[in-house]
Amino acid sequence: MKIAYPIIYKQNNSYYLIYIPDFDGFTEAEHLDIAEVMGMARDYISDCYVMLENENKTIPKPSNYEQAVLIAKERADSDDFIFSDGELTYIDIDTVVYRELLERLNNGTIK
């Protein structure tokens, strides 16, 4: 299944902090590289999605722009760092491809 979720990313010194509103989670890209931001966010979202699916738990529906910013304001913004004014984009995931990759890793066919 292919689906896209919003992320909000923002530079903090020499790296990017990334907030994933629909999974209320955080990750970071160690370099100021947008491709790394996308990859880290895609891995985080894919991991969460597959884990929830495996546990038969509710998988969140993707938020629209306004909803994602509101979630960031309510759950992620702090006195130390404001996520809600960062860059918002959508990250696509393919759960079938990700699940196949995990199976290959677990079977030792990928190192």
- For residue 68, pLDDT over 70 is answered with yes
Are the CB atoms for 19 and 7 separated by under 8 Å? yes
Per-residue confidence (pLDDT) for residue 90, from 0 to 100: 98
- For residue 75, pLDDT over 80 is answered with yes
Question: Residue range 56-79: average pLDDT?
Answer: 98
What is the tens place of the pLDDT at every residue in 38-57?
999 999 999 999 999 999 99
| Contacting residues for 3 by C-beta, under 8 A, at least 6 apart | 49, 62, 92, 93, 95
**Which comes out higher in pLDDT, residue 103 or 65?**
65
Q: How far apart are CA 29 and CA 79, in angstroms?
A: 22
